[in-house]
Homo-oligomer: A and B are copies of this chain.
Amino acid sequence: MDASSERALSRLKEIDSEIHVLSGASALLGWDQETYMPRGGLANRGEQSALLEGLAHDRLASAETAALLAALGCADAEPSGDPSLPRPERLYLRAFHRAWARAAKLPGEFVRERAKAVAHSQAAWAEAREKNDFPSFEPHFQAMIAFARREAAYLGFERDPYSGLLNQYEPGMTEAPVAAVFEELKAGLASLLSRIGSRPQIDDSFLHRHCPEERQEAFSRRIAGILGLDPGRSRLDRSAHPFTTTIGPGDVRITTRYLEDYFASSISSTIHETGHALYEQGLPEAWFSTMAGDAASMAVHESQSRFWENVVGRSLAFWKARLPELRECVGPALDGIGPEEFYRAMNKVEPGLIRVDADEVTYSLHIVLRFELESALVSGALEPSGVPSAWKAAMERILGIVPADDAMGCLQDIHWSLGLVGYFPSYALGNLYAAQFAERMDADLGGIEAIIERGEQARLLDWLRRKVHSKGSLHTPSEIVADATGAPLSPKPFLEYLERKYAGIYGFSTVSPPYSS
């Protein structure tokens, strides 16, 4: 690397670090809004977030950044990078270029306009959901879909706009392969669901015994620590919707919520968010505060949270090991309940209206539904005004139930109100990646169930650190999955995992493979 490349690279990293410092400050504004901000702060918070977001965008999309990339041999659409650079630096430049190429195509005015509109849209959505009043949200929804269509056009995806949007959450992914994978997934899950439906239902009523928030919180802190979250580098707070956010290296925060008549909910959501936080804390230290030190994608992120929530946190082995600790914290709610009974209750399958409350089998069907609707919204085949009825029809078709109102239907999720279109597939792809990782980890470590039962889950974390976390964005999601598992994205490991698990729980014989037909 010659002296001028070195200077250019060092200046680029400086700009990158400033962008990340701004993102960290933005993240804190967001965290605070959901946790401690008084009501009176709301009016100003949208402006604050929009300004910081605009500043970060300006830095990324600046002429200086473009000139530095050109000087480093990264002016092309698929940058090769200065061949004299070491390989990690070239991977870094690829990651930076990816972020830059998107940002540079979006006018600053568009970014600011959308950020301000999002603040109003979110507020309108929250009120509309509370009052079950879709029409009051509709103009904001229309604006968000219009922004999404404009964004796809700016990005040069006029012919395949949904792929343009999907791409920003899942680099390298396009609509067609997702649609194909989701078709296979939908068929496999439908088959599984019908077999489960033919068996006697599980009684999980003890999960609804009263359990005070403080007891649930005590267990949440304990389990996050057991899974590897260091309280000196993280926080656990309460919010209406659980989330994870990174303020900076050494400061990754999770939130959860406590339902006093459903303590299982906070257990799952705490483990889920802990999975996200462990990923963030495992990103490559040498690349902290740069694009290469960011998570690879939203689906890879979700693979980490779902791995810990479901593969670990809903396994029999885990509750054989951890039930005594849970019992110590939640007390009377667990009287007379053993690990087997608890495991079965935590895995009860039943089609429901709400995505975030869904079991492992039906969860991905909620995603398929959203994918189908938003794909139609972006292409123009569906307009926002048609969503309430399209939602009901799709629910009946895919899950066999129909919401009585929009609050329990198309208004349940926050995403569209924030302009997040193309994000939903990440949740289902995350389930698939998680199962692929688990399958390979099981082979590599010689059986993960026994490891979990012995309380050695640190070994699972170590595998994920090496194969996934430490890659940051130096590699793309498909590279990470291929390197870690030797195979490309596939729904088979996930469907096989569910088959095995639920055949045991509900007592039917597995049909193998039911989904390949």
Contacts and interface: CB of A to CB of B under 8 A. Distances in A.
B25 A47 contact: no
Contact of A44 (B38, B234, B237, B249): B249
Contacts of A17: 47
A contacts with B: majority SS: helix
A234 to B, nearest CB: 6
A331 interface: no
Given A28-B32, A39-B250, A40-B251, 17 more contacts: A21-B47, A21-B48, A36-B235, A37-B247, A37-B251, A38-B232, A38-B235, A38-B250, A38-B251, A39-B232, A40-B230, A40-B233, A40-B249, A44-B249, A44-B250, A45-B251, A55-B55
B28 A248 contact: no
23 contacts: A17-B47, A18-B51, A21-B47, A24-B44, A25-B28, A25-B29, A25-B51, A28-B29, A28-B32, A32-B32, A32-B247, A36-B235, A38-B232, A38-B233, A38-B251, A39-B233, A39-B250, A40-B230, A40-B233, A40-B251, A41-B233, A41-B248, A44-B248
A48 B26 CA distance: 10
In the complex, the count of this chain's copies comes to: 2
A52 interface: yes
A160 to B, nearest CB: 37
A220 to B, nearest CB: 16
A22 interface: yes
- In this complex, the member of A17, A39, A44, A47 whose beta carbon has the largest number of chain B beta carbons within 10 angstroms is A44
A447 interface: no
Nearest to A43: B250
Nearest to A51: B21
Contacts of A247: 32, 37, 41, 44
A211 to B, nearest CB: 22
A231 interface: yes
Contacts of A230: 40
Nearest to A247: B41
A45 B24 CA distance: 9
Interface string A220-251: 00000000001111110100000000011111
A25 B25 contact: yes
A52 B32 CA distance: 17
A42 B37 CA distance: 21
Contacts of A237: 36
A249 B45 CA distance: 10
A249 B47 CA distance: 12
Nearest to A45: B248
Nearest to A52: B25
- What 9 A-B pairs come out closest when comparing CB atoms? A40-B250, A41-B251, A44-B248, A40-B233, A39-B232, A21-B51, A21-B48, A25-B48, A40-B232
Interface in A352-394: none
A42 B32 CA distance: 17
Contacts of A248: 41, 43-45, 48
Contacts of A232: 38-40
Contacts of A250: 38-44
A290 B197 CA distance: 63
Nearest to A22: B51
A413 B21 CA distance: 29
B32 A48 contact: no
A334 to B, nearest CB: 28
Contacts of A24: 44, 48
Nearest to A26: B25
Nearest to A23: B48
A22 B251 CA distance: 21
Nearest to A288: B44
A85 to B, nearest CB: 26
A290 to B, nearest CB: 13
A51 B248 CA distance: 14
Contacts of A21: 44, 47-48, 51
Contacts of A44: 21, 24, 247-251, 289
Contacts of A36: 36, 235, 237
Interface string A441-456: 0000000000000000
